[in-house]
Structure 1
Amino acid sequence: MATAREVNSDNGSDGEISQDPERQALDYVTRVLSSVCLQENAHQPPYMLPVETPDGIRHEGLDLKKSPVTGGSGELSSLLLCLPLELILHILSYLDPRFILGVLPLVCRTFQHIVADDITWRLRVQKRIGGNFPVLEQEHFDWPAACIELEEQVSNWSDNGKRTEHFSLSYGHYAPVDAVLLLERGSLCVSGSRDRNVILWDLKQLGNKQEKAKGKILGTEKTGTHKGWAWSLAACDHFVCSGSWDSSMKIWDIAADGQQVMAIRGRAAVLCLAYLPDILVAGSYDKKVSIYDPRATRPLLKSRVLHSSPVLSLVADDRHIVSGGEDRTMVVFDRRANAVLQTIQMNNYLFCMSYEAPQLWAGGNQGLIHVYGSQGGTFQHLRCFDVGHTSQVTGIWHSTGALYTTSTDKTMKIHIPTDPPRTLCTLTHNSVVNGVSVSGRTVAAASGEQTIEIWRLPE
């Protein structure tokens, strides 16, 4: 059995360990989360990308008015294929996209070509979804996968999400839940709370004639998982890291039933985390972004003051670390060059981020959603959306065909990521909603009402 290691990441910084982390946390929440600071002129003029309308789609030689087969193809035995392509696509619009993608290419070469052509899927998305999509189209965009996810998102959440199963885990924490993270395609969930505990939930039996999920508090300390509020979570493979207002990070092995494998002591509250196979990145109250190698005996690799106020959010990949500070800046750090690549000044601060290159979606303290694109190694502000939140956006999760946002306005909103986003459903709660996580067909939200809210999407 592995033994947990505790290491000190003291690096001679000018930050000091808070003597009263709970008081510091309460002051932070009062300053950052409790006030509604919407501004009428908060929208920044976005950089407008050219958008292709349905009439402007390049058909690349396809004639929708003609049959896709010719007399010499040997496939005229199928009357369907004698129809103009426009009518064939209309007929296919009544079929499930997974069926189209998986079965029709096996019928004949003509269907194979139709299904393989991006135009088939672009036209279907334009007719089904409407609006401009995607916000930023990158090279080798997977149109069939996007179409499937968009249509399933609309189906699952239209009519106020009545097709989904909803569960409320209200029996584990006794204080507001500030962080939630789904693992293993939604079969496991980790939550962090102001009761100082991190709980590992087994969701596999939830809903299978069982109303409760099995929860286990991580750690062996009688006072709780941490000595301060458990505020941030991140995962890589089967390891989960929890960050706390007690200035510590703890790493847990989920494959070993949540056993602690390491504790890292910092010098300030850990407000946000990103966990990659080679590094762990932490943003802290003392304005620093720190990079660790959890596999090493001395894990701290570097620590830099990148902001003039606490670091509220960050994301990372193998090239960039992007952090947002309360100082209303977004800093892009180039991992390869070991240097700051950009500092972007804003009129708001970013409280949460969702990133998959080349798109970064972020929620700000003015209730708005901002979209950035990374091109040529730098980030550009592309769009600013008002999706209906009336106060701070506390959580955001974005994928090709789905967008989830949570807010201190006591709502979670489900959208499709068109330009502008189309809101499918607004779920209202009795308290603030502090974050969201999505994995597989499971959605989880952290509630200020001391609960974790779980939704299961239909198969």
Structure 2
Amino acid sequence: MSLKKENEDNDVDDVSSDESYDEMDTELQLSLNTLPVEIFLHICSFLDSSTLVHRLGLVCKQFYNILRDDSLWKGRINKLWPNTRYPILPPADDDKLFWKSSCVIAERQYFLWKNLHATENLYLKDAHEACIDSLLLIDKGRVCISGGRDRMLVCWRLNETENEDKIEMHEVQGHDGWIWDITSMQNKVYSCSWDKRIHVWDYDNGQIKLLEKLPLRVAGALLCISSCSEQNLLATGSSCKLISIIDPRNHDPFVNQFRSHRGAVLNISMNTKYIISTSEDKTVSIWDQRSQRTLKSLTLSKDSYSRCVSMQPDVIYIGDNEGYVHILDVNNDFELVKSYKTQHTDVITGIHMTGGSLITSSFDSTVIISTPTDPLHTINRFPCRYGKIIKMSYLNDVLAICGGNSIEVWRPRIGDVC
């Protein structure tokens, strides 16, 4: 009996001993929220910025507070683009999320364009019988509108599901002259042409329908058009040097008309404050919509003319016919900040600043993806299979270019970019 009791006592001791070890293991067990900050940040360095911002940073207040430090995001950007200055111009003081959001965009863009296998390449052809001069992506990059010298307007719906044809096409007779530019506003598409008219189109489920024709009081062809949704206004430039501002909702659409150039207006871009235009006279003009006057006229180079514009709230990027990119500071009287010679060997025909990349296209049949830094560095460069690139459009990580009578599109593969 005594031996039995001794064994029972030993069993009790073993149980109590196991429980004590379990308690010790529990106390010594580490979790993510109990790690030292340095180790936590080291783990974060193996995760992409989007995961940190949109997932890990929302788990608890502790993670959020650690990941809100600007120095973390500045360090990641500096690692991505070493020995460069970013941004080229100081960020706005009231933008508290600048470094965090910029890092997410920068990493996303770098991954997308450095690894072209992450993109899907589509070819849109056999619709136009002549050169395509105008191109526009709408509906978050799911629809492409093109206009050409065959006077046709074509709507391409770019399907994403595997059980559907990738491309659906709808074409209509567009204008009585070459279609030279396209813009969109308030779920409508606007095209301008050598026939001196603006056509208003309704888009619905992959098809476009002509709603209205707006004849303008100009003597020359309409070469470019831009829109400002906040004001419900359009601006168009013509070969007769005039720039017209119109409100398409009115019976008499004319709002204003002015002349800021001595040559044909080649490109135009507008927002709620300014209208930026480029011309054959080699000048860039800034029109103030509030004071209704030309604020400034710039000659960026005596030997070249500006061809295309990408206007951001605080900075303007301009591409010229000699392969240079010029940067203007909106908040410093539109002063020229930098001019860069790109790897393009011919006219820059398209330019777009995304915050994480600078995208340019050219008559030299190439697209160049550059870093938005000082100095510029090339992320990738790839050719257009259809020759000279006439126009470029970019929306929601989708890039479209046209050359000849065909279009080439790059868009993220489903699941490859978060």
Q: TM-score, normalised by structure 2?
A: 0.84
Map of 2:389 onto structure 1: 433
Q: Would you say 1:132 and 2:85 are equivalent positions?
A: yes
Deviation at 1:92, TM superposition (A): 1.3
8 Å contact from structure 1 (residues 171, 451) kept in 2: yes
Deviation at 1:210, TM superposition (A): 5.1
8 Å contact from structure 2 (residues 32, 40) kept in 1: no
SS at match of 2:334: strand
8 Å contact from structure 2 (residues 156, 167) kept in 1: yes
**Which deviates the most, 258-267 or 168-177?**
258-267
Q: Among residues 233, 236, 250, which one is paired with 1:279 in the alignment? A: 233
Map of 2:209 onto structure 1: 259
8 Å contact from structure 2 (residues 48, 107) kept in 1: no
Query: Structure 2: which 5+ residue stretches go unaligned?
Result: 1-28
Task: Go from structure 1 to structure 2 and tell me whether the alpha carbon gap of 1:441 and 1:208 turns closer, same or farther (over 3 Å shift).
Answer: farther
Q: Among residues 164, 168, 175, which one is paired with 1:226 in the alignment? A: 175
Q: Among residues 123, 127, 130, which one is paired with 2:75 in the alignment? A: 123
SS at match of 1:258: strand
Deviation at 1:391, TM superposition (A): 0.7
8 Å contact from structure 2 (residues 159, 165) kept in 1: no
CA distance in 1: counterparts of 2:165 and 2:406, whole angstroms: 14
Deviation at 1:453, TM superposition (A): 0.7
Q: Would you say 1:301 and 2:255 are equivalent positions?
A: yes
Task: Go from structure 1 to structure 2 and tell me whether the alpha carbon gap of 1:455 and 1:202 turns closer, same or farther (over 3 Å shift).
Answer: same
Map of 2:340 onto structure 1: 385
CA distance in 2: counterparts of 1:180 and 1:423, whole angstroms: 25
Map of 2:184 onto structure 1: 235
Letter in 2 for 1:328: K
Letter in 2 for 1:150: A
Letter in 1 for 2:370: H
The alignment yields a C-alpha RMSD, in angstroms, of 2.0
Q: Cα deviation per residue 1:405-451 (whole Å; 9 max; x = unaligned)?
A: 11001111122212222222212124101122122232111112x11
SS at match of 1:433: coil
Map of 1:150 onto structure 2: 106
Q: Among residues 61, 64, 84, which one is paired with 1:112 in the alignment? A: 64
SS at match of 2:129: coil
Q: Cα deviation per residue 1:370-416 (whole Å; 9 max; x = unaligned)?
A: 1112115x311111112200010001111111221110011111222
Q: Would you say 1:354 and 2:303 are equivalent positions?
A: no
Deviation at 1:125, TM superposition (A): 0.7
Query: Structure 1: which 5+ residue stretches go unaligned?
Result: 1-75, 219-223
CA distance in 2: counterparts of 1:77 and 1:162, whole angstroms: 39
Deviation at 1:128, TM superposition (A): 1.9
**Which deviates the most, 303-312 or 265-274?**
265-274
Q: Would you say 1:179 and 2:131 are equivalent positions?
A: no
Deviation at 1:261, TM superposition (A): 2.0
Letter in 1 for 2:76: R
SS at match of 2:349: strand
Q: Would you say 1:92 and 2:44 are equivalent positions?
A: yes
SS at match of 2:162: coil
* Large movers: runs of 4+ above 6 Å: none
Share of identical aligned residues, percent?
A: 30
CA distance in 2: counterparts of 1:424 and 1:209, whole angstroms: 34
8 Å contact from structure 2 (residues 309, 318) kept in 1: yes
**Greater RCO (CA < 8 Å, at least 6 residues apart):** 1
8 Å contact from structure 1 (residues 114, 120) kept in 2: no
Task: Go from structure 1 to structure 2 and tell me whether the alpha carbon gap of 1:432 and 1:211 turns closer, same or farther (over 3 Å shift).
Answer: farther
8 Å contact from structure 2 (residues 146, 154) kept in 1: yes
CA distance in 2: counterparts of 1:239 and 1:217, whole angstroms: 16
CA distance in 2: counterparts of 1:298 and 1:107, whole angstroms: 55
Q: Would you say 1:447 and 2:403 are equivalent positions?
A: yes
Task: Go from structure 1 to structure 2 and tell me whether the alpha carbon gap of 1:411 and 1:211 turns closer, same or farther (over 3 Å shift).
Answer: farther
Q: Would you say 1:246 and 2:195 are equivalent positions?
A: yes
CA distance in 1: counterparts of 2:213 and 2:324, whole angstroms: 36
Map of 1:424 onto structure 2: 379
SS at match of 1:126: helix
CA distance in 2: counterparts of 1:435 and 1:144, whole angstroms: 32
CA distance in 2: counterparts of 1:433 and 1:372, whole angstroms: 25
CA distance in 2: counterparts of 1:110 and 1:212, whole angstroms: 45
Task: Go from structure 1 to structure 2 and tell me whether the alpha carbon gap of 1:117 and 1:84 turns closer, same or farther (over 3 Å shift).
Answer: closer
Structure of greater Rg: 2
Q: Would you say 1:339 and 2:330 are equivalent positions?
A: no
SS at match of 2:101: helix
Deviation at 1:209, TM superposition (A): 5.0
Letter in 1 for 2:154: I
CA distance in 2: counterparts of 1:210 and 1:148, whole angstroms: 32
